[in-house]
Structure 1
Amino acid sequence: MNTRKALYQYGYRRCADQGRSSPARHPVAVVGAGPVGLCTAIDLAQRGVPVVLLDDADRIGEGSRGICYAKRTLEILDRLGVADPCLEKGVTWRIGKVFQNDDLLYAFDLLPEDGHKMPAFINLQQYYLEHALVERAAALPNLEIRWRNKVIDLKRRNDGATLTVETPEGPYDLDAEWVVAADGARSALRGMLGLAFQGEVFEDRFLIADVKMKGEFPPERWFWFDPPFHDGHSALLHKQPDDVWRIDLQLGPDADAKAEQTPERVVPRLRQMLGHDDFSLEWVSVYTFQCRRLERFVHGRVVFAGDSAHQVSPFGARGANSGIQDAENLAWKLALILKGEAPESLIESYDLERSAAADENIGHSTRSTDFIAPRSAQELRFRDATLSLARHAPFAKRMVNSGRLSMPSTYETPLSTPDRETWSGSARLGAPVPDAPMRDRSGRSVWLLEALGGEETILHVPNGSQPPAGSRVLILGEDLIDEHGFFTQRFDTSPGSTYLVRPDQHLAARWRHATPPLIESASRRLRGIEGDHA
């Protein structure tokens, strides 16, 4: 049930490709204007790659859907130029609380340290995020969004693919060197290629409701096992902007999905939880979910990203966050390939890295679901014993699983150069580099991730010798000044330390004392160029 009308609607416009005698050729066609498709298209366009973005709808705004966006996702959105409106509108939070019945089992802080530009999480209805992304996309000269352009056929070739696109004025064909399939869980492109998911389908049903009300609950994530208002099941509460609250209620595998969405069923459940009826329903759905993925994300020149490639349970906010990280991983690689700066085989590293990330997310989601909704008497006994111990034993608190919240992936792949020395600090090889407050040459405050942007970058701590050469080198103490010491601590610096950062801000290599051959080899390695990996 959806009581909200579309907030944002976009009109169909005839494009230059229609009516041509032969298909126009584009470097990249992205299919699907959800968060993943929009992020992919914006990232490519910012890197100088012309993009056509196709979507079969002409609107956004039906239901809030995804709402939780993690720190790493916000850092990516910041690089894409859309973090500010999201932060301004979103509800910032970092504290989570887990209850059993009325008792608080424990609380956790997702970002206990200072020195980061982005918060641990924000809650924001997906339609607000999509609107910010559409506005950003419209401002880029080499990105064209085509609404009400539905892909109805796909023919692959060795050098790309031909898409047949249906519009209100009839169909047309376009050729693309690369196609990004970001068309969601019911991906039409996946069906056109005859691809199937592998994994697990869960039978438990959950009611999800967006409720408009004035509430006294703080901006925290509250999760209940066996709450007094919903005996024998679980419940979850999140605050969203506009006095809207997200409520999830476990229903069990035998619930009637259609009946449970009616106000006659929903309102009494919510009244029992909230203790009053001073609320209205914005959006209601009943869902089951899957933890599944494609065996491969890359099929020639067609690449799958987001829900079209993998699906997880909603516990832990891993859906949209992992999809946006897919987009980030893919865009810089496609840009380098199209510019002739990397071999086409680099795209295999997208499959390798994001398949591993999907497996990690699916593993966390499956374990969370098994704990929240036990499917056997043995699993239920384990869950109840763990909850009982968690009241008194710190070790048991770590075993309580109400959804391991989204974290960025660490890529242990051939694109990284293995460490030769021992390092401490929070910077990890293959992981996104931690942010830090800095000052630039003019004394202006700047964040490390802002300074890195989306380019391959060498960070160097001087030691009196000649600094390393490279296409982009930032010298600590000259280009960037670590006045608060966060960079020094997080990167475990010493005189002569050198760090190579990928275009997606993951750490590719680091040395206590780098040499030009070592840096050149690591740079070639992160671009997938075969050769000596000294």
Structure 2
Amino acid sequence: MSDSEPVVVVGAGPVGLVTALLLARHGVPAVVLEAAARRDVSGSRAICFQRDVLDVLDRVGCAEPMIERGVTWTTGRTYHRGDELFAVTFTGAGQSAVPPWINISQAEVEARLRDLAAAEPLVDVRYGHRVSGVRQDEEGVEARTEGGGTVRGTHLVGADGGHGAVRELLGIGFPGSTFTDRFLICDIRADLPFPSERRFYFDPEWNPGRQVLVHQCPDRTWRIDWQVPADLDLDAERGSGALDARIRRITGDVPYEIVWATVYRFHERCAAAFASGRAFLAGDAAHLYAPFGARGLNSGVQDAENLAWKLAFVRRGWAPEGLLRSYDTERRAAAEENLRVTTRTMEFLVPRTARQRARRAEALEAARTHPDPRTIIDSGRLAEPFWYLDSPLTTPAGPLEDFPRGPGAARPPVPGVLCPDGPCVVDGEPTRLRRLFGTRFVVLTQGGHAERLPTDVPHRVHALDAIDAEGSLRTALRSGPGTVHVVRPDGHLAAVLPSYDPAAAVAALHRACGRA
């Protein structure tokens, strides 16, 4: 493949821009085709960014200003009719400097990504280029645009959203369902006495029989989500004063300003395939979830990282074309898991059958005296990265313990999960472990083994006892005297070996690159 040929990315939203910027970090050019003359920047849209996703955004230079600007939170509380049922506090394995959650507007993050793309010579963003056709051959992909001619690249990534053109042009189905209940979102600017927490209310007195979700955002902005009747007319609510009355039930007499308001329905859909030849789907083009749990944009960014390093390794000749098949295997499994989680949540939040309604009513009443209400109340299980335990790229570790997977549970350091983070010193400079990931494999050893392994897969070996002065990484990894951890460019553990064996480490690297 020619180094000058780009990857064609369709869609200049957050997922498309992150894909292009990650490719550029690997030295791979990208042309981003956006149908709109300019992107709509109104409203908060997606607001919750999870710690592991912030690590991905850190690799493209976006995370630090986001963290500085965003509202950090570590606790989610769930209420029923004014009574707190339970609270969840989020922690993580290792000693990460990145907060577990921040709230910041998707529009603001997208603006930062656009600035980074504009400053990156390997990224060419073209607005007003609506894709109307896709043609593939053995050497590449052509995207035909309305009024913009044809753009050719080695591969194509469709990140053009749930109503985008690429999935339809590829003939890929999008099965699933749409919930008939509607939800009202308002961003209001006010000085409210609420803490910076996620607060979910079942059946509050100011929205009887339905739900309300409240989040704090930067600039004194509060994001409020109401479940509303299916026939709610937002314009009529504005004109009649009903919208003001609805907001006043939460704000009281505090002065407020409406920044943005919209009404929408939720979709639960997953593409029948995430790949067709040299073309791939990512983000909302591949999957749509109800937002209770913050799994949409967070999962889309993880799609981007999973695909970007694989495209780069294939383009550079470090891996066979077959490596790209694992994108569909890994990310569709992640999407299906997210779909199962969010579907269960919506069945509890918006029960469709008499049985579901009865179950919800019984659970809400029982929660007041239940020893662990989290096990019977579903207010949205918040996003966490998928574990690639069964991926063909993962070297099995034999029988595994039954590790906890509840909210805030530490991720066990077994093959397939994300490697934990923590402070370390590399080449005399203080850093943290996850900043070593992104463009190559990392092999973590102990006992002074830090020589480069004889393989054609780009990697670097680090001796934990040399870089981990505090010992926190060895604790988080549960690393024994001879343990070897092989980490993929996206931070997932490809293998955990019981002892330092160069041949076994090379075999794990080859397997993680899609080689037999």
For normalisation by structure 2, the TM-score amounts to 0.92
Amino acid at match of 1:241: P
Q: Which segment is superposed worse, 66-75 or 245-254?
A: 245-254
Q: How far apart are the structure 2 equivalents of 1:302 and 1:466?
A: 38
Deviation at 1:261, TM superposition (A): 6.7
Q: Against the structure 1 CA distance between its residues 259 and 361, is the aligned structure 2 distance closer, same or farther, given a 3 Å change threshold?
A: farther
CA contact (8 A) 2:282 2:303 kept: yes
Residues 1:459 and 2:406 are matched in the alignment: no
Among candidates 345, 350, 363, match of residue 373 of structure 1:
350
Residues 1:506 and 2:486 are matched in the alignment: no
Deviation at 1:255, TM superposition (A): 3.5
Amino acid at match of 1:145: V
Q: Against the structure 1 CA distance between its residues 203 and 394, is the aligned structure 2 distance closer, same or farther, given a 3 Å change threshold?
A: same
Q: Which segment is superposed worse, 380-389 or 289-298?
A: 380-389
Amino acid at match of 1:418: P
Q: Against the structure 1 CA distance between its residues 259 and 528, is the aligned structure 2 distance closer, same or farther, given a 3 Å change threshold?
A: farther
Aligned-CA RMSD value = 2.2
CA contact (8 A) 1:439 1:482 kept: yes
Among candidates 148, 160, 167, match of residue 140 of structure 2:
160
Q: Against the structure 1 CA distance between its residues 94 and 262, is the aligned structure 2 distance closer, same or farther, given a 3 Å change threshold?
A: farther
CA contact (8 A) 1:27 1:338 kept: no
CA contact (8 A) 1:497 1:513 kept: yes
Match of 1:523 in 2: 509
Q: What aligned pairs does 1:40-119 form with structure 2 within 5 A after superposition?
A: 40-57=19-36, 58-111=38-91, 115-119=95-99
Match of 1:194 in 2: 171
Residues 1:414 and 2:392 are matched in the alignment: yes
Amino acid at match of 1:514: Y
Q: What aligned pairs does 1:280-429 form with structure 2 within 5 A after superposition?
A: 280-411=257-388, 412-420=390-398, 426-429=412-415
Deviation at 1:381, TM superposition (A): 1.8
Match of 1:482 in 2: 469
Deviation at 1:88, TM superposition (A): 1.2
Q: Which segment is superposed worse, 460-469 or 385-394?
A: 460-469
Residues 1:145 and 2:145 are matched in the alignment: no
Deviation at 1:265, TM superposition (A): 3.6
Deviation at 1:164, TM superposition (A): 1.8
Q: How far apart are the structure 2 equivalents of 1:147 and 1:243?
A: 32
Match of 1:30 in 2: 9
Percent identity of paired positions between Structure 1 and Structure 2:
39
Deviation at 1:156, TM superposition (A): 2.7
Among candidates 115, 125, 143, match of residue 135 of structure 1:
115
Q: Which segment is superposed worse, 512-521 or 324-333?
A: 512-521
Consecutive unaligned residues in structure 2, runs of 5 or more: 404-410
Match of 1:9 in 2: none
Deviation at 1:133, TM superposition (A): 1.0
Deviation at 1:481, TM superposition (A): 2.2
SS of 1:152's equivalent in the other structure is: strand
SS of 1:288's equivalent in the other structure is: strand
Among candidates 140, 144, 150, match of residue 173 of structure 1:
150
Q: Which segment is superposed worse, 415-424 or 320-329?
A: 415-424
SS of 1:341's equivalent in the other structure is: coil
Q: Against the structure 1 CA distance between its residues 171 and 452, is the aligned structure 2 distance closer, same or farther, given a 3 Å change threshold?
A: closer
What's the CA shift string for 1:16-39, capped at 9, x where partnerless? Answer: xxxxxxxxx833010111110011
Q: How far apart are the structure 2 equivalents of 1:74 and 1:139?
A: 21
Deviation at 1:233, TM superposition (A): 0.5
Amino acid at match of 1:456: F
Q: Against the structure 1 CA distance between its residues 31 and 270, is the aligned structure 2 distance closer, same or farther, given a 3 Å change threshold?
A: same
Q: How far apart are the structure 1 equivalents of 2:21 and 2:297?
A: 16
SS of 2:84's equivalent in the other structure is: strand
Q: Against the structure 1 CA distance between its residues 146 and 460, is the aligned structure 2 distance closer, same or farther, given a 3 Å change threshold?
A: same
Q: What aligned pairs does 1:432-447 form with structure 2 within 5 A after superposition?
A: 432-442=418-428, 444-447=429-432
What's the CA shift string for 1:62-98, capped at 9, x where partnerless? Answer: 2221111001110111122110110111101011111
Deviation at 1:201, TM superposition (A): 1.8
Deviation at 1:293, TM superposition (A): 0.9
What's the CA shift string for 1:344-378, capped at 9, x where partnerless? Answer: 11111000000000001111110111111111222
SS of 1:196's equivalent in the other structure is: coil
Q: How far apart are the structure 1 equivalents of 2:177 and 2:286?
A: 14
Deviation at 1:466, TM superposition (A): 7.5
CA contact (8 A) 1:482 1:488 kept: no
Q: How far apart are the structure 1 equivalents of 2:488 and 2:70?
A: 29
Q: Matched residue pairs, number?
A: 501
For normalisation by structure 1, the TM-score amounts to 0.89
Amino acid at match of 1:280: E
SS of 2:155's equivalent in the other structure is: strand
Consecutive unaligned residues in structure 1, runs of 5 or more: 1-24
Deviation at 1:190, TM superposition (A): 1.8
Deviation at 1:271, TM superposition (A): 1.4
